[in-house]
Structure formats: structure tokens, C-alpha cells
Amino acid sequence: MSSLSINFKAPSTTIGRVQLLLLFGTFVGAWAAILGRIAQQHGMPTPVIITFRMFLGALALTPFIWQHHRAEIRAMSKRNLLFVLIGGIWFGIHLLSGFEALKHTTILVSGVLGGTLPIWVALLEVYLLKAHFNRVIWIGLGITLLGGVIITLAGSGDNSLGDNPVLGSVLSLTAAVAGAIYAIVGRKVRDKISLLPYLWLVFIVGGMTSVVVVLFNGQTFMGYDNTAYFAIILLVLLPQLICHGIYNYSLRRLPATFVSVVGQLGIVISAILAFLFFHEVPNMWEIPGSIAIILGITIVNLNKNTPPADPSPAPETETAAPIYSGLTGIELEQLQFSEKAE
């Protein structure tokens, strides 16, 4: 915490520039939900959106995988491949639920409830991994739960929050829980495989999961409005590549707690963009509920026992690429901050 305060009060020129860059990355990442909603409004179903996003993300990583990680993937054990398969399926469920929620509730509600992912990770750590947290973290969990209850009750019978706010809230929470399971499963293999091949495989499995849903629904990948395809391209280029390239760079130079707190601004920025693009106005209960959730998540993140990062760049252990995880907005934004620091 002391190093975090120093960075706030007297940042060096280099640290100050990285902080500004992180703010820009957060702004870019906040467009994920907006672009997803635009694609949906122009007729593209959620499973099709996720399929395009996952396979385009994998395609962006393929040159790095082919050049540097082919042997590593070939040498993976069946056990590790099984964990990647399970994690990728849950990751696909996470994205499908999160983006489908955008059709039924506001971007603010979807963002704050989907942003509870680190809370579910913490609960899974307690009940599955027998982790122990201090009282402050439990207070943060309680505040987050209270905010979720307020938002859910606020959405009951209020069509101004979407065509089915309760369903949207349930889908957002489903996305958070699925993402948390993906995170826990991923820990079984992340120390046995490098970052890029792990993400490449997860993107492919997640994309295949969404393809199954597309085929089951009898949907197609062609024939949609050009605006929908353009929104998908921007979704991959801006939040998935540029935003998380910046996050990866920032996490090598800034404390993970600082990055996590700044990441919460993405929810606020998304809500402002939703007002400008879709005229979404929060009701009187949605705002305090959202504030409670953001506060609770921030308390949990700030009280994790993670050492601050060294301001100087960390030595490279593998070939760098202009992408960190390809997960943005309502997805694993908070996860990447905490996981990178552990």
C-alpha cells in the first residue's frame, strides 16, 4: 500500500506516462460492451459474435505460436490438455452469457455484475482451495453482495433497464461464475505452459464451444449487416489487441492493485458510452447498487496479499506479443490483474 501511495503522490516521469497509458487502455477496453451491443442490434446473434471474436483472437496469436511455441504445444501432457479443454469450455460459457446479458439489461448492470468475477474467484478459493482471507476482504464480499441484491431488485418490473432485467442480471452473474471456474481450472496448467500457447488453445476451445451453440440454434455466419461485421473487427482490434497489449505492458511496471482499481473505471466509462450511444439512464437504485459492487471489488483487490510490481521492466521470459489475454470489459478484466500478480 505504501508503494501505491507513492505512485499517486510523486510519480516519476516514466511511471506517470505508464499510468496515462493505462487510462487510455481502460478507455479503449470500455468499448467492448458497446461494440458487442452494436453487432447485436444489427442482427448478429451472440454465439456468432463470440465465435468470430475467439477465432480472430486465435488467428492474431497464430504467427507467434507457430514461430516460438510449436514444440511446447506438442509436448503438452494429456492431463494439461484436458484442463485446457475444460477451461476453454467454461471460458466460452462465460463469454456467451456475458454478451447475451447485453440484450436484456443495461450495460452498467451487465458490467458491474460481470465485474464481480474476482469475488467468485475468492469464494471458490475458500471452498475449493481452502484459502483464508482477512476480515476486510469478507467485508468487501458482503458489500458486493449487497450491491448485487439492490441491482437485482431494482430491475424487477422496470422495463427501462432492458426487456428482461432480471434475466440479464442472472446471465451477467452466470458469466462471472463461469469466468471464475475458468480461472481456477487455469491455475492447474498456467505454471506448466507459457501464456501465449495457453491463450491460443483457450481461444480455440472457447470458439468451438460457441460454434456448437451456433449449429444447435441453426444460425449462420454470413448475411448480416456490414455494420455488425465492422463492429466485430473493432472489437478485436481495440479492446482485444490494443487494450490488453497496454495492460500487459502496464502490469510489468505498476502495482497490480493500482491497475485493478483503475480497471474499475472501465465500468463507469462503459456506462457513459451507453448513455451517449443507446440513451441508457440508470434508475435511482441502479446507481447505489453499482457503487456498492465497485466499492466491494476494490476493497477485495486492495487487500489481497500481493507484492507491488517493480517499476522497472521485468525481464522477458518469453517472446512478447501485442496482446495479454484478449479478454475485456464484462469478461476477465479483473482476473488478469490479480492473476498476473500471483
Task: Give the mean model confidence (pLDDT) for residues 75-100.
Answer: 94
Radius of gyration over alpha carbons of the chain, in Å? Answer: 19
Q: Residue 205 pLDDT > 90, yes or no?
A: yes
Average pLDDT, the chain: 80
Higher pLDDT, 285 or 98: 98
Higher pLDDT, 260 or 333: 260
What percentage of the chain has pLDDT greater than the value 90?
39
Q: Are 235 and 32 in contact (CB under 8 A)?
A: yes
Domain count, the chain: 1
Could you report the per-residue pLDDT of 274-332, keeping only the tens digit for each? 999 999 888 787 788 888 888 888 887 777 644 344 444 444 443 333 333 333 333 34
What percentage of the chain has pLDDT greater than the value 70?
82
Q: Are 219 and 47 in contact (CB under 8 A)?
A: yes
State which residues form the domain around 63: 2-341
As a whole number of angstroms, the distance between CA 46 and CA 340 comes to: 29
Tell me the three cell numbers of residue 102.
447485453
Q: Tell me the pTM.
A: 0.81
Which residues touch 340 (CB under 8 Å, ≥6 apart)?
251, 256
Task: Give the mean model confidence (pLDDT) for residues 108-129.
Answer: 84
Please, which pLDDT band fits residue 14 given cuts at 50, 70 and 90? confident
Which residues touch 257 (CB under 8 Å, ≥6 apart)?
1, 4, 301, 302, 304, 306, 308, 341
Q: What's the pLDDT at 306?
A: 44
- Among residues 185, 191, 201, which one has the least CA distance to residue 317? 191
Higher pLDDT, 334 or 284: 284
Tell me the three cell numbers of residue 296.
466491494
